[in-house]
Amino acid sequence: MLTEFGLIDRYFKRPRPGTASRAVLGIGDDCALLAPTPGLQWAISTDMLVSGRHFFADVDPAALGHKALAVNLSDLAAMGAQARAFTLALALPQADPDWLQGFSDGLFALADSHGCELIGGDTTGGPLNICITVFGEIEPGQALTRGAAQVGDDIWISGQLGDARLALGAARGEWQVDATDLPALRRALERPQPRLALGRALRGIAHAALDLSDGLAGDLRHILRRSGCAARVDVDALPRSAALARQPLEIQRRCTVAGGDDYELCFTAPPAARDRIAELADSLALALTRVGTIEPIASSGGSTDPAAALSASAVGAATALAPIHWVDATGRTLPAAVQTSFHGFDHFDAS
């Protein structure tokens, strides 16, 4: 019979890492003690994963351990921070050894690959719920915030968008995918890779950045609101897998624009940085795709193009302050009805 403390010792307490950056005091006391690297700032973020809402209860526990940490590390990546440590608050319906072993294996495989130490947490009975807080470090003034986009910046996306949403839709029976594509799509949904190396490399190159968790349409607006800008985005330029590109155009657009769960980075940078960003893509072996431009609010909202003006008014008040002007590969404005369908995911939006 596993007790609470037996469970923590067996699955979450590990030999201390040998690195110089390890915590001063880890699991086992009332608090962990963590010494900041002199001169650096803490970057701290929390994300909670709730069974039935963020994952299926019967998901592979190793994948769940990976993803619970990955979505948190993705926030550090989006700031340009270096991962240092994390805490884990866990509510479990029962202490199932197989489940706990899988979960802790998936969790620590990712933690170790980024040198991120588990320093404490909390464990309780209850409906399955996983809450992780990550601690990273960043040089003062170097963080990639949401409010730093500038008019004229290019908008860039790492990796590919939409595969996680395509996998979810396939699991829900919303659409069909080729059986041969399923393993890669499930990996995209269950094992997102936090773009920490990219975030670090973008310090001093990118202006604004964020990670895409709720879909590009909703998430890009966070940058636009914070920066007081508008954007023009080419939907056909959004990077996508061959599996997604085989779907009807409407599904491709839904998945890339409003999909969610991508955990890729969206960042803005001046056109003068294009060559450096191309070099970065090569050295990281990670696609970096230019998908649009940051514009002044007036030029997108008050366009003389009647189709653009129509769509701007139809998209409505929610987006009026931070409009995204969606165009296709030919530069044509997408119809208003298509634009309004490009909602990001909102947990409290009943529509």
- Estimate to the nearest angstrom the gap between the alpha carbon of 286 and the chain centroid: 15
Q: Which does 129 bind (CB under 5 to 8 A by kind): Mg ion, ligand ADP, none?
A: none
Under a CB-based contact definition with an 8 Å cutoff, are residues 305 and 333 in contact? yes
Q: Which does 121 bind (CB under 5 to 8 A by kind): ligand ADP, Mg ion, none?
A: ligand ADP
Spatial CA neighbour of 192 closest among 167, 221, 218: 167
Q: Which stretch binds ligand ADP (CB under 6 A): 73-81, 120-128, 148-156, 244-252?
A: 120-128
- The nearer residue to ligand ADP, 46 or 283, going by C-beta atoms, is 46
- The nearer residue to ligand ADP, 133 or 289, going by C-beta atoms, is 133
- Number of neighbouring beta carbons within 10 Å of residue 317: 7
Please, what is the Cα angle at 148 between 145 and 150, to 5 degrees? 150
Q: Which does 30 bind (CB under 5 to 8 A by kind): Mg ion, ligand ADP, none?
A: ligand ADP
Residue 68 near ligand ADP by CB under 6 A = no
- The nearer residue to Mg ion, 28 or 204, going by C-beta atoms, is 28
Please give the residues from 102 up to 141 whose contact with Mg ion meets the rule CB under 5 A. 122
Query: Which token pair is 29?
Result: 């006391």
Question: What's the rounded Cα separation, in Å, for the pair 267 and 149?
Answer: 8
Q: Which does 102 bind (CB under 5 to 8 A by kind): ligand ADP, Mg ion, none?
A: none
- What length does the chain have? 351
DSSP designation for 236: G
Question: What's the rounded Cα separation, in Å, for the pair 299 and 291?
Answer: 18
Residue 103 near ligand ADP by CB under 6 A = no
Q: Among 120, 159, 215, 323, which residue interacts with ligand ADP (rule: CB under 6 A)? A: 120
- The nearer residue to ligand ADP, 27 or 73, going by C-beta atoms, is 27
Strands 230-234 and 324-327: parallel
Count of residues of this chain found to bind Mg ion when the rule CB under 5 A is applied? 1
Q: Among 12, 99, 267, 342, which residue interacts with ligand ADP (rule: CB under 6 A)? A: 12
Question: What's the rounded Cα separation, in Å, for the pair 103 and 214?
Answer: 24
Q: Among 69, 71, 85, 90, which residue interacts with ligand ADP (rule: CB under 6 A)? A: 90
End-to-end CA distance of the chain: 46
- The nearer residue to Mg ion, 89 or 284, going by C-beta atoms, is 89
Under a CB-based contact definition with an 8 Å cutoff, are residues 176 and 56 in contact? no
Question: What's the rounded Cα separation, in Å, for the pair 231 and 152?
Answer: 10
Query: Which token pair is 157?
Result: 């996306």
Please give the residues from 123 up to 182 whose contact with ligand ADP meets the rule CB under 6 A. 123
Minimum CB separation of residue 2 from ligand ADP in Å reads 13
- The nearer residue to Mg ion, 23 or 216, going by C-beta atoms, is 23
Binding-site ranges for Mg ion (CB under 5 A):
122
Binding-site ranges for ligand ADP (CB under 6 A):
8, 12, 27-30, 88, 90, 118, 120-123
